[in-house]
Amino acid sequence: MTTSDSTANWEQRLTGELGKPVQSLDFFQAMRRIEAESPTMPRVGHARQTSQEAVRIRQTTALDFAPATIDRIDSGHDERAHISQRFFGLLGPGGPLPLHMTETVRHETRHNADPALESFLNLFHHRMATLFYRAWSSSRGAVQRDRPETDRFAAYVGSISGTLDPGAESDADQTSADNSGLYFSGRFGSTHRNAEGLAAVVSATVHADANVKTFQLRKLRLEPEDRTLLSPSERPSGRGESAGRGGRLGQSVVLGRSVPDRCSMVDLDIGPIPFDLFQELLPGGESHNTLHDLIRGYVDPGLDCRVRLILDRNTIPRLSLGRVGALGRSAWVHGKAPRADVGDCQFIL
């Protein structure tokens, strides 16, 4: 809290933009504003000591029914906001104590100048009201996002969708990371992962077009013990069906060292993208780990994803030795302006 803010009247700070009396404010609205304007102090209801709290809450001792939740807001000598509220407490016509107790407290404070009993009851009012606000704010995502480093709502959403990192040491570590998983909690929480969902998640994260192609053909390399050999004496011992016995046509005979497969690979095309983003998404780039975690968190562990980065032809740099370009990744030799986007950079995640 700056010096100029601390000397200003809290009531004026909260109602100056609205141009309305403080009674027009909702209690939770005022508490949220005070909490937001005190970023160096703990959240309301979380402080271990009263000296660490940004607000003091008391109940106005009155015998009539309250027309508003807030009676007044004062600035104490400790530069904290002091809220006098009328909707929550032990006294008054809506409180659990008999009405004559309200009369007694009111009489002692006003006529005998002895606020001891009222101050004693306000100890409980303050504690219960701050805990009430804490319970209210914990279930509202917009309020929790006022302080992302202590956002409990993000942990709730992450637990439901399965995107919460169990290795994070604290909620601050979890919420300060990339929030793509939280934004797409509906897709990550679904048991049915599809190509359209992967494209939507990646496109929103990298801010570029994404297209997914399924059932892509590739060759899987066979282990030596799984290959078919003509001579049984040359066949190594192993776990394969052809090991140690003759192969059967149409069942266990495989020609070559690899087999075609269309069930374990999907292609993900990203682009066209500018050269700066192209470099960030390459292995070793600033955004590569984010892309890797996003894809592996969405794609089934039994599937590999072949990423193809498509570079916008208008941003292809000219090769400059020692300055621009990495051999085999981001270096192209061309004399004229390219007529098409470049999509020869691929890697598997």
Residue 73 has pLDDT above 70, yes or no: yes
- Weakest-pLDDT range from 105-109, 174-178, 342-346: 174-178
Residue 20 has pLDDT above 80, yes or no: no
Q: What is the pLDDT of residue 100?
A: 92
- Band of residue 1 on the pLDDT scale cut at 50, 70, 90: very low
CA angle 196, 200, 205 (to 5 degrees): 155
Q: How many CA atoms lie within 13 A of 144 on its CB side?
A: 19
- E strands, the chain, where? 55-59, 70-75, 81-85, 210-213, 218-221, 258-261, 265-273, 304-311, 342-348
Asked whether 125 and 90 are in contact (CB, 8 A), the reply is: yes
pLDDT tens readout for residues 170-181: 444 444 345 667
Compute CA distances 129 → 69, 85, 161, 329, whole Å: 12, 10, 32, 60
Q: What is the pLDDT of residue 174?
A: 47
Structural domain boundaries of the chain? Answer: 3-138, 148-189, 195-217+262-348, 224-257
Residue 50 has pLDDT above 90, yes or no: no
Asked whether 202 and 270 are in contact (CB, 8 A), the reply is: yes
Place of tokens 């950079």: 345
- Band of residue 3 on the pLDDT scale cut at 50, 70, 90: very low
